[in-house]
Amino acid sequence: MPAYLGQHNEGFVLNTAKQKTVLVLGANGGFGSHMVHELLSHGYQVKCLVRDPNKLNDSLMGIDIKVIKGDAANISEVTQAAQGCEILVYAINMPYAQWQQKSLSTLEVSVRLSEKNNMTLIFPGNVYIHNPAHGPNFSESSSHQPVTKKGKIRQAMELRLKRASHNGAKILIIRAGDFIGKNAKNTWLDFMLKKGRSGYTLSAGTKQDITHSWAYLPDVAKACIALLNAGLPKAYNDFNFAGYQISFTDIAQAIERESGKKVKMAYIPWWLFSLLAPVLPFFKELNEMRYLWEQELNLNEDKLKKVLPEFKVTPIGTALRETKLI
């Protein structure tokens, strides 16, 4: 049942979307909420399926969306919410501890619906499916060779999406690095960057000058909708989004330029994570991702640039300020 209907004050671009209706799962999260706003700005009608409509994040309040109470893991509730929709945005962000139990089964609900109704399913990919040792540069044609259990789960999810593209669904995967953006809870940079009285402390993963891939969520959403509006040429479409491929030294310099305050460099206390891992499983999950801070993993976005040659990302300093990290 519809639980909330607000007002959207931004102008529609009606000719772009031809009033297609989109169902967004995970709209309260970072990728999902930014997709909602970008879809609205291009004239799409948007439905959001959420567990508790009374706990919408602030960015979804007062805009022209239809919010429906339901569970993304419940096939009947998702089916009912998707009535009249041609596109489904799968923005479910499982906590690390739930990946093993829930990731594939929850995705399966949306995949089966997309197959049955010939829907377009949009999915945010990540870099976990790659082995940095075989890099540092990866294109869409690079083989998927995950080195962690979470990477293997993501690989299985993407293999399921590929099968869906042979069974009636149209798939769009946009692959990016670690997210930066409003409404993205518990991001790595939220943890690594701390504001003090006289400046900031930035904790590097392992090496200050190693390149790491970051993606500003408003840019990812803009690229995703631009690709969608350009017309998906195949049943299965995957695009790398390079974002910012920069070092911690680069980030520190950007913060100092943007804020006028000094940045003190530090390091993530991996030893402490290892010590706490046996009693606090969350730290064990974080420890598993350490390898991504020890080796470069860069996404080649030549394929995306061929479709969107004029696309440019927001300057990193502006992104950090708009996200209120500085």
The domain segmentation of the chain, as residue ranges, is 2-181+215-242+297-312
CATH match of 2-181+215-242+297-312 with 3.40.50.2000:
no
Stretches in the chain below the pLDDT threshold 50: 1-16
The distance in angstroms from the start CA to the end CA of the chain is 40
Output the CA torsion 160→166→167→168 (10° steps): 110
Query: pLDDT (tens digit, 9 = 90+) per residue, 77-101?
Result: 999 999 999 999 999 988 777 888 8
- At 197 the three-state DSSP class reads coil
- Per-residue pLDDT, 4: 33
Query: pLDDT (tens digit, 9 = 90+) per residue, 259-297?
Result: 999 999 999 999 998 998 888 888 888 888 999 999 999
- At residue 122, what is the residue type? I
- Per-residue pLDDT, 17: 54
By the 10 Å C-beta count (0-12 exposed, 13-18 middle, 19+ buried), 110 is classed as buried
Max Cα distance, the chain (Å): 57
Give the DSSP letter string of 13-71. Answer: -HHHHTT-EEEEESTTSHHHHHHHHHHHHTT-EEEEEES-GGG--GGGTTSS-EEEE--
